[in-house]
Amino acid sequence: MTSRPADRVEPEQSQRAINTAPTQSFGPALRAARRDRGLSLGQLAQLVNYSKSHLSRVETDAKTPTEMLARRCDEVLRTDGRLSGLVDARRSGRRGPSLNQLPRAVPGLVGRAATMSALDRTLHLSGARRDSAECTVVVVDGQAGIGKTSTALNWAHGVARQFPDGLLFADLGGFGPGAPADTADVLRHFMTSLGGQVDAEVPAEHLAARYRSLMTGKRALIMLDNAADPGQVRPLLPAAGGCHVLVTSRNRLSGLVVRDGAERVTVPPMTEDEALRLLEAVAGPWFDRSTAPDIAQYCGHVPLALRVAAENIAGWHQSPCGGLCGGADEATALRTVLSWSYRKLAPAAANALQRLAVTAGETISPTTAADLLGTGVAEAHALLDTLAEIHLLHQVAPGAYRLDQLTAAFSDGLNETPPLRPAPDD
């Protein structure tokens, strides 16, 4: 029989340590789980994006842990939610909001610690504005399939108790198969949910004013998912200082940042470690870790693409990558998701995306793009900015852009099939 080194601790041991001490406070439980994982305090601080000094105070019970910190520690230390359970047990006497329209959060969210920390910082800003007439607006943007909604929802559920007057949710349908949601309909839905009286004949601008009045003095979180443009969002912004608005979109919604003072949190592609963990979680026992870097690179570290690849592995497909833009159901969905962005483009930008397919993975400048597109440098620059605005291109530096492999495969496919009809040029 092969003996196991005495200093090696299996993941289950840290879980059992917490399980067998249900009355244990959070600090000692965190310290035990960290040590079982063989991590120093500094290493844990880096992984969860909290300072070492803050974690030290938490471990000694000198500082109260937040729900977000507990959830991050659960994820990094793989304690299966037990640290969060200790926080929940302590707060079980607190009532949550009576109105909660948030959809169910996707279980098993992998990674995203840096994005969660950025959202935490906007919440601190919201707290500072609570006594003013200034609502905090946060634009959560990113490319198709990057996990904007799932990340924002996961975070929103974690901070729900901080908004006792309710959590409102609306899918604005900005990028999808149908027309975007009508703002007046969303306003009526919100107002009736809050107990307000709504006349069906009231114009949208008057509805917006009544909505702002109804929200005065309230502490509420409003999540506006999949926004098309700033004009769709503005009537839905309350003025109350206790309110916090999350807006998700593929569009960078620069107008909300410039004119309305919105904060921006861009959801990036996954790190290689996060991509590996996601592939492992979805593919299960058939996952060959040695193939992970190639799969992750092909997928651009995009969660939706990674899930499709992992499902192909679990389903005994020959290639985890071959069907991402091809004929399987999941691949068709992925192509469709990208097509919703493509359809928003004016003809010139749509044509530019197709021509840029040959540059997959390369860094291009307005000058090199002008040669490829047959335009002047200024026009090429404007087209590149248009594509970057809805994350069909990545702006990697001022004047430098890159088309990822997945979007390149999609746009290259447009050259081989009947073209999709882009939106009219306004």
Residue 356 near residue 380 (C-beta atoms within 8 A): no
Please give the residue that has the higher pLDDT: either 118 or 178.
118
The proportion of the chain whose per-residue pLDDT surpasses 90, expressed as a percent, equals 38
pLDDT per position as a tens digit, 346-396 = 999 999 999 999 998 899 999 999 999 999 999 999 999 999 999 999 999
For the chain, what are the domain ranges? 11-90, 113-266, 272-324, 342-414
As a whole number of angstroms, the distance between CA 69 and CA 34 comes to: 14
Q: Does domain 11-90 have CATH number 1.10.260.40?
A: yes
pLDDT per position as a tens digit, 12-65 = 444 434 443 334 578 888 998 999 889 999 999 989 888 888 898 889 887 888
| Reported pTM | 0.71
Q: Are strands 221-225 and 167-171 parallel, antiparallel or unpaired?
A: parallel
**Domain spanning 113-266 has what CATH number?**
3.40.50.300
As a whole number of angstroms, the distance between CA 272 and CA 278 comes to: 10
pLDDT per position as a tens digit, 172-225 = 999 988 899 999 999 999 999 988 877 777 887 788 999 999 898 888 999 999
Q: How many CB atoms lie within 10 A of CB 172?
A: 23
pLDDT per position as a tens digit, 213-271 = 989 888 899 999 999 999 999 999 998 788 999 999 999 999 999 999 999 999 999 99
Residue 272 near residue 298 (C-beta atoms within 8 A): no
pLDDT per position as a tens digit, 58-71 = 898 878 888 788 88
Residue 97 near residue 164 (C-beta atoms within 8 A): yes
- Label residue 78 left, alpha or beta by phi (over 0 means left) and psi (-120 to 50 means alpha): left
Q: Which residues pair with 240 in a beta bridge?
A: none
Residue 388 near residue 251 (C-beta atoms within 8 A): no
User: Looking up tokens 């935490």, which residue turns up?
Assistant: 120
Q: Does domain 342-414 have CATH number 1.10.3720.10?
A: no
Average pLDDT, the chain: 82
Query: Which helix (H) or strand (E) element contains residue 225?
Result: strand 221-225
Strands of the 394-397 sheet, one edge to the other: 363-364, 400-402, 394-397
